[in-house]
């Protein structure tokens, strides 16, 4: 293996680790600087249940919770404790769902988020880029204009509105799909047609909402890129040289135009770990978005950290992989 | 056509066929719907859980953090000694639930004795006895991080039984309201099954799942591991629960608590008869729903529909900060509010207004509003040596008139009916009087007409309010800000997610929130009023003790609170003392009362009928209150399937 290649990998890996370290450190401190305090939140909830709580009782409860949540000691001590736990694979207990381990909560939501967002991200990227390439390359064709108009019309619609339109149309006016949820009530996970079809039926509307908005974005981006690339000299030369149209389109134009889109895809895949809050809310679909949202409002430092760690590591690794794989897509990029 | 194209065409056709087929099947007349396998729709009551998705759905430890409360847990599976209904109750607002009778105190309130019902059983067949109550108290005392633990530590010297059905609490100091810990308003300290919890090493970590042993008439049948729904099934031995024993069989065989999502989806779900009880809606959602589904009914049969909760949203004024420490300035701000516009902006007119410092709900109309009416009519404030009578009892009619332009005949015309629904009255909109009060206190106007403080600085106010989670309050704050700006005070509404924390620490001047919460079904005000005593006063910067975030101190009020504390919970003299409290508040105006916290709880009378209403107010229909259990034996199936 050439030395330059090894050095390139090492350099990128160190960068990646540094980004992760800094990202996690910032995420550790920021929630602790916010005025939302998990102990206050817990005490407020407890006090709300009953009548007047004597100040001494409130103080006693607070002290007990601080000890229980492991929030005693200085910030530095907490920071060291956090890293020790993290390196042992333990994100600690959630403070708003104490003492449930953060990993357990994330494990419950992550498959839904990954299933929905990974699928829709890949499909919308593929479809958007394919259609965008064709529309850009055959820009004088009537169908290309029509697809362009549709994409232009769909893309600026706020996602929330799009999601609601789909719910109203396809779950209320013509109730083909369920109004919400991830699976029929009472259905137990099983590798059966009933379960799988229920899973699919519930996933169609949230997926469709993400696809319609996502495809439009990729389409418009790719069409612009292709329009620029076909004006390049080497494309004109290839045409004059009698290279087949399909080859020019896939090998010369699309491959070159695709490079920034690949970076975009990598970033999007990394961000999957943030979840899709609005999708989850509108379609009552489980996922990491709602978990993170509640954690922020409850000042649940551990859960915020848990979701953030996944997101930071996800984006960093995605960027690293793209950096490493880039020369495969574009031979002009060298491992230097 | 190539085989690839044929395959694609086949797949597309099949997909559409299956979609249409499933739609046709669902719409087939006469078909019995199931909400889950083996759970018929017509035997199920579906209620909204307003908590949304539960992050840790398998946790049922109501005494510690995590899990949900309004999943049916505190409504159908837990029970405690007493309940006070915010409305009229089935036979009385006071309900002896696990207790056989009200609490028995000794003369100096240092001991409380509780007689328990006999014949109550946990869902696993073990009898409920005094041991469960004692165990609950001792477990919580040993764990002050759990709800009520620290309070028990502070209050309880010893808890013991004299027989299996009699529990005695020896208290560390006199406390005539100790029973309130075990009395449900919307929640309370529920009782643990000793035979389950005594085997647990760490009560804080215990999920109380597997098994979730119920003391209520339902047991958990299933729940969503993703936290969106909880399905409960009626116990075979429902008659061995406090509810069944008193009021007969709960009618729905199943109860399903779901998190249906945003208000628009709740409207759609109920219009489709897929959601029987909506916890709350926006006023616009309510109007939209009643227009779509004639069987959707609110608390009032028509405008204003909403159920007034015994909570009083108010303009909270930090009485510690200049110039809000001056009663005349507080009154000036009150008179610069046009309440009709606030009602329209916040609730589309469907607000139940209150001029005095208790919510206009439940029995409070009779206990406090009626007796105060003549005093309010004759109450005056001194304005440049002349009396000004600020009370306006025409407000309800004026609100109704405004709403009638939009809703026509849906708005009642009977003044008595309007009074109950929209409030007895409020304070006059009198900016000219407000101006005189400010001028008297050294305020001046600049050339543009804006108010300057006596030191020449411009008077600016920021009204803290809830963010989009409580839109009615945000809208009210925005309207008040607009009115005060029009009056010449530069005011803006400031939505924040840290409202309660900032209130607690006094980090505000003006805020739209609430600190007055009452039983609704019982006149005792001590529940919120105790913490208004100057003993518990904390200056801004220190955390407030419970319900005095406006930092109000008054010697006369201290006396009233002490007198109430020394009297029995049911002593009629407490109502007279409560009226004295109200008069002090009207004179001093420590906060500006606005309205009841109206909740658009809507019930669909398609599968079930007999839900509580203003005409039959046997309980509160707001689904997150533990009292809603009383709805279950009272509703009846309509026979629709």
Question: By the CB < 8 Å criterion, does A53 face chain B?
Answer: yes
Q: Which of residues 479-498 of B touch A (CB under 8 A)?
A: 497-498
Q: Helix, strand or coil for residue A192?
A: coil
Q: pLDDT at position B520, please?
A: 93
The mean pLDDT of B483-487, rounded to a whole number, is 97
Question: By the CB < 8 Å criterion, does A171 face chain B?
Answer: yes
Q: How far is CA B217 from CA A279, B55, B79, in A?
A: 36, 26, 10
Report the C-alpha gap between B372 and B262 in whole angstroms: 40
CA distance A210 to chain B (A): 18
B30 — pLDDT class (breaks 50, 70, 90): very low
Q: pLDDT at position B10, please?
A: 56
Residue B132 CB-half CA count within 13 A: 26
Mean of the per-residue pLDDT values of chain A: 84
Nearest to A162 by CA among A217, A218, A208, A117: A208
pLDDT digits (tens, 9 = 90+) for A37-90: 777 777 776 666 655 567 777 777 777 778 777 777 788 888 888 888 888 888
The mean pLDDT of A166-170, rounded to a whole number, is 92
Q: Which of residues 113-152 of A touch B (CB under 8 A)?
A: none
Let me know if A101 is exposed, middle or buried by CB neighbors in 10 A (0-12, 13-18, 19+).
Answer: middle
CA distance B198 to chain A (A): 19
Sequence-distant (≥ 6) Cβ neighbours of residue B130 within 8 angstroms: B116, B161, B163, B164, B165, B166, B167
Say whether A180 and B153 touch across the interface (CB within 8 A): no
Q: B42-259+600-637 and B309-598 share one CATH topology?
A: no
Question: By the CB < 8 Å criterion, does B187 face chain A?
Answer: yes
A327 — pLDDT class (breaks 50, 70, 90): confident
Percentage of chain A lying above the pLDDT 90 cut: 15
Say whether B260 and A61 touch across the interface (CB within 8 A): no
Report the C-alpha gap between B513 and B500 in whole angstroms: 9
pLDDT of B4 strictly over 80: no
CA distance A72 to chain B (A): 14
Nearest to B476 by CA among B423, B528, B513: B513
Question: By the CB < 8 Å criterion, does B566 face chain A?
Answer: no
- Chain A's closest residue to B225, CA to CA, is A108
Let me know if A89 is exposed, middle or buried by CB neighbors in 10 A (0-12, 13-18, 19+).
Answer: exposed
Contacts across the A-B interface (CB distance below 8 Å): 181
pLDDT of A15 strictly over 70: yes
Report the C-alpha gap between B597 and B512 in whole angstroms: 12
The mean pLDDT of B368-382, rounded to a whole number, is 97
Superfamily in which the B42-259+600-637 domain is placed by CATH: Periplasmic binding protein-like II (3.40.190.10)
Q: How far is CA B419 from CA A220, B302, B401, B415, B423, in A?
A: 60, 15, 13, 6, 5
Q: pLDDT at position A296, please?
A: 82
Render B567-616 in DSSP notation, one character per residue.
S-TT-THHHHHHHHHHHHHHHH-SEEE-B-EEE--EEETTTEE----SSS
pLDDT digits (tens, 9 = 90+) for A173-228: 888 999 888 899 988 888 899 999 999 999 999 999 988 888 888 999 999 999 88
Render A234-280 in DSSP notation, one character per residue.
HHHHHHHTT--HHHIIIIIIIHHHHHHHHHHHHHHHHHGGG--HHHH
| Longest CA pairwise span in chain B (Å) | 98
Q: pLDDT at position B23, please?
A: 39
Q: pLDDT at position A335, please?
A: 61
Say whether A50 and B180 touch across the interface (CB within 8 A): yes
Say whether B154 and A57 touch across the interface (CB within 8 A): yes
Let me know if A194 is exposed, middle or buried by CB neighbors in 10 A (0-12, 13-18, 19+).
Answer: exposed
Domain architecture of chain A: domains with CATH: 102-329 (1.10.3720.10)
Say whether A286 and B228 touch across the interface (CB within 8 A): yes
Contacts of A108 in chain B (CB under 8 A): 225-226
Question: By the CB < 8 Å criterion, does A52 face chain B?
Answer: yes
Please identify, in words, the CATH class of the domain defined by B309-598: alpha beta
Say whether B547 and A64 touch across the interface (CB within 8 A): no
The mean pLDDT of A22-41, rounded to a whole number, is 81
pLDDT of A336 strictly over 60: no
Q: What is the ipTM of this complex?
A: 0.81
Say whether A64 and B260 touch across the interface (CB within 8 A): no
Give CA angle at A81 (A75, A86), nearest 5°: 125
CA distance A310 to chain B (A): 18
Question: By the CB < 8 Å criterion, does A100 face chain B?
Answer: yes
Say whether A64 and B150 touch across the interface (CB within 8 A): yes
- Chain A's closest residue to B531, CA to CA, is A52
Mean of the per-residue pLDDT values of chain B: 92
Say whether A187 and B37 touch across the interface (CB within 8 A): yes
Question: By the CB < 8 Å criterion, does B154 face chain A?
Answer: yes
Q: pLDDT at position B92, please?
A: 95
Q: pLDDT at position B26, please?
A: 39
Domain boundaries, chain B: 42-259+600-637, 309-598
Give CA angle at B616 (B615, B618), nearest 5°: 140
Q: pLDDT at position B18, please?
A: 46
B112 — pLDDT class (breaks 50, 70, 90): very high
Backbone angles phi, psi at B48, to 5 degrees: -85, 135
pLDDT digits (tens, 9 = 90+) for A173-183: 888 999 888 89
- Chain A's closest residue to B204, CA to CA, is A99
Report the C-alpha gap between B565 and B174 in whole angstroms: 9
Backbone angles phi, psi at B541, to 5 degrees: 105, -30
pLDDT digits (tens, 9 = 90+) for B493-538: 999 877 888 888 899 999 999 999 999 999 999 989 988 999 888 8
pLDDT digits (tens, 9 = 90+) for B397-438: 999 999 998 888 889 899 988 999 999 999 999 999 999 999
Contacts of B148 in chain A (CB under 8 A): 46, 49-50
Q: B231 near B254, Cβ under 8 Å? A: yes
Handedness of CA B413, B414, B418, B419 (dihedral sign): positive
Q: How far is CA A6 from CA A2, A33, A248, A336, B139, in A?
A: 7, 41, 34, 9, 61
Q: pLDDT at position B9, please?
A: 59
pLDDT of B171 strictly over 90: yes
Say whether A51 and B177 touch across the interface (CB within 8 A): yes
- Chain B's closest residue to A280, CA to CA, is B261
Across A258-267, B11-20, B228-237, B304-313, least confident range: B11-20
Out of B23, B260, B269, name the one closest to residue A176 (CB). B23
Percentage of chain B lying above the pLDDT 70 cut: 95
Question: Whole-model pTM?
Answer: 0.88
Residue B497 CB-half CA count within 13 A: 11
Say whether A97 and B66 touch across the interface (CB within 8 A): yes
pLDDT of B470 strictly over 50: yes
Across A258-262, B46-50, B379-383, B565-569, least confident range: A258-262
CA distance B372 to chain A (A): 26
Nearest to B171 by CA among B183, B154, B188, B185: B154
- Residue matched to tokens 């859980």: B49
Q: pLDDT at position A162, please?
A: 87
């Amino acid at each position: 293996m050439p030395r330059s290649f090894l050095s390139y990998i090492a350099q990128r890996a160190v960068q990646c680790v540094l980004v992760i370290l800094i990202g996690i450190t910032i995420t550790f401190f920021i929630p602790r600087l916010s005025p939302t305090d998990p102990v206050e939140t817990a005490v407020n909830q407890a006090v709300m249940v009953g009548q007047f709580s004597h100040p001494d009782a409130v103080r006693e409860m607070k002290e007990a919770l601080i000890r229980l949540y492991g929030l005693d000691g200085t910030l530095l001590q907490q920071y060291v404790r956090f890293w020790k736990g993290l390196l042992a694979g333990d994100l600690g207990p959630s403070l708003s769902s104490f003492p449930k381990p953060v990993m357990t909560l994330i494990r419950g939501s992550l498959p839904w988020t990954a299933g929905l967002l990974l699928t829709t991200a890949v499909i919308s990227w593929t479809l958007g880029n394919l259609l965008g390439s064709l529309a850009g390359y055959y820009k004088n064709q009537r169908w290309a204009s029509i697809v362009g108009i549709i994409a232009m019309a769909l893309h600026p619609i706020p996602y929330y509105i799009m999601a609601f339109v789909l719910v109203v149309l396809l779950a209320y006016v013509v109730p083909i799909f369920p109004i919400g949820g991830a699976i029929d009530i009472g259905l137990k996970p099983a590798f059966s047609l009933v379960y799988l079809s229920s899973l699919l039926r519930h996933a169609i509307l949230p997926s469709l909402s993400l696809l319609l908005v996502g495809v439009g974005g990729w389409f418009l981006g790719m069409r612009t890129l292709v329009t620029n690339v076909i004006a390049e000299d080497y494309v004109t030369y290839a045409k004059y040289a009698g290279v087949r149209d399909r080859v020019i389109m896939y090998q010369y134009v699309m491959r070159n135009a695709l490079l920034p889109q690949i970076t975009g895809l990598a970033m999007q895949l990394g961000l999957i770990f943030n979840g899709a809050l609005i999708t989850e809310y509108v379609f009552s679909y489980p996922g990491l978005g709602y978990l993170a949202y509640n954690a922020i409002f409850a000042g649940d430092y551990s859960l915020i950290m848990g979701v953030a760690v996944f997101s930071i590591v996800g984006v960093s690794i995605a960027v690293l992989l793209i950096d490493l794989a880039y020369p495969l897509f574009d031979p002009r990029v060298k491992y230097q | 056509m190539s085989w690839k194209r044929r395959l694609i065409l086949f797949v597309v056709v099949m997909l559409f066929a299956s979609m249409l087929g499933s739609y046709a099947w669902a719409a087939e007349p006469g078909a019995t719907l199931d909400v889950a396998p083996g759970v018929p729709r017509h035997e199920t009551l579906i209620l909204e859980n307003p908590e949304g998705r539960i992050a840790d759905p398998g946790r049922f430890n109501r005494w510690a953090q995590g899990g949900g409360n309004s999943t049916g847990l505190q409504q159908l599976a837990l029970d405690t000694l007493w309940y006070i209904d915010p409305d009229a109750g089935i036979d009385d607002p006071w309900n002896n639930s696990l207790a056989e009778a009200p609490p028995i105190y000794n003369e100096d309130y240092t001991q409380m004795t509780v007689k328990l019902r006999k014949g109550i059983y946990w869902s696993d067949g073990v009898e409920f006895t005094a041991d469960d109550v004692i165990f609950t108290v001792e477990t919580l005392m040993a764990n002050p991080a759990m709800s009520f633990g620290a309070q028990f530590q502070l209050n309880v010297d010893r808890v013991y039984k004299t027989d299996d059905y009699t529990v005695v609490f020896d208290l560390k100091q006199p406390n005539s309201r100790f029973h309130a810990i075990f009395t449900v308003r919307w929640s309370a300290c529920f009782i643990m099954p000793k035979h389950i919890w005594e085997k647990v090493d760490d009560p804080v970590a215990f999920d109380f799942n597997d098994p979730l042993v119920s003391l209520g008439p339902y047991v958990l049948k299933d729940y969503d591991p993703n936290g969106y729904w909880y399905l409960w099934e009626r116990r075979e031995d429902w008659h061995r629960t406090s509810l069944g024993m008193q009021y007969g069989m709960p009618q729905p065989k199943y109860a399903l608590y779901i998190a249906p999502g945003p208000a628009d989806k709740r409207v759609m779900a109920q219009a489709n008869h897929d959601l029987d009880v909506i916890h709350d809606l926006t006023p616009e959602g309510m109007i939209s729903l009643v227009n779509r589904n004639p069987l959707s009914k609110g608390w009032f049969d028509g405008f204003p529909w909403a159920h007034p909760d015994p909570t009083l949203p108010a303009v909270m004024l930090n009485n510690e900060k200049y110039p809000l420490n001056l009663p005349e300035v507080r009154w000036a701000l009150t008179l610069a509010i046009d309440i009709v516009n606030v009602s329209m902006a916040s609730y589309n007119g469907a607000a139940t207004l209150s001029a005095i410092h208790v919510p206009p709900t439940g029995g409070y109309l009779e206990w406090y509003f009626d007796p105060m009416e003549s005093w309010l009519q004759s109450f005056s404030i001194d304005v440049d040596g002349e009396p000004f009578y600020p009370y306006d009892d025409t407000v309800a009619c004026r609100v109704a008139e405004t709403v009638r332009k939009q809703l026509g005949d849906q708005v009642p015309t009977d003044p008595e009916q309007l009074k109950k629904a929209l409030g007895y009255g409020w304070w006059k909109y009198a900016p000219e009087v407000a101006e005189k009060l400010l001028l008297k206190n050294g305020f001046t106007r600049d050339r543009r007409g804006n108010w300057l403080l006596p030191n020449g600085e411009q008077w600016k106010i920021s009204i803290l309010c809830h963010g989009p989670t409580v839109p009615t309050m945000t809208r009210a704050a925005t309207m008040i800000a607009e009115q005060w700006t029009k009056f010449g005070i530069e005011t803006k509404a400031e939505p924040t997610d840290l409202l309660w924390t900032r209130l607690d620490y006094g980090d505000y001047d003006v805020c739209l929130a609430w600190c007055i919460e009452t039983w609704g079904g019982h006149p005792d005000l001590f529940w919120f009023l105790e913490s208004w005593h100057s003993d518990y006063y904390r200056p801004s910067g220190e955390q407030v003790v419970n319900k005095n975030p406006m930092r109000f101190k008054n010697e006369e009020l201290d006396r009233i609170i002490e007198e109430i504390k020394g009297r029995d919970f049911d002593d009629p003299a407490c109502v007279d003392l409560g009226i004295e409290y109200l008069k002090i508040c009207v004179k001093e105006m420590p906060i500006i009362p606005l309205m009841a916290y109206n909740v658009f709880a809507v019930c669909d009378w398609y599968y079930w009928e007999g839900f509580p209403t203003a005409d039959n107010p046997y309980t509160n229909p707001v689904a997150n209150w533990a009292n809603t259990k009383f709805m279950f034996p009272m509703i009846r199936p309509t026979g629709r399937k």
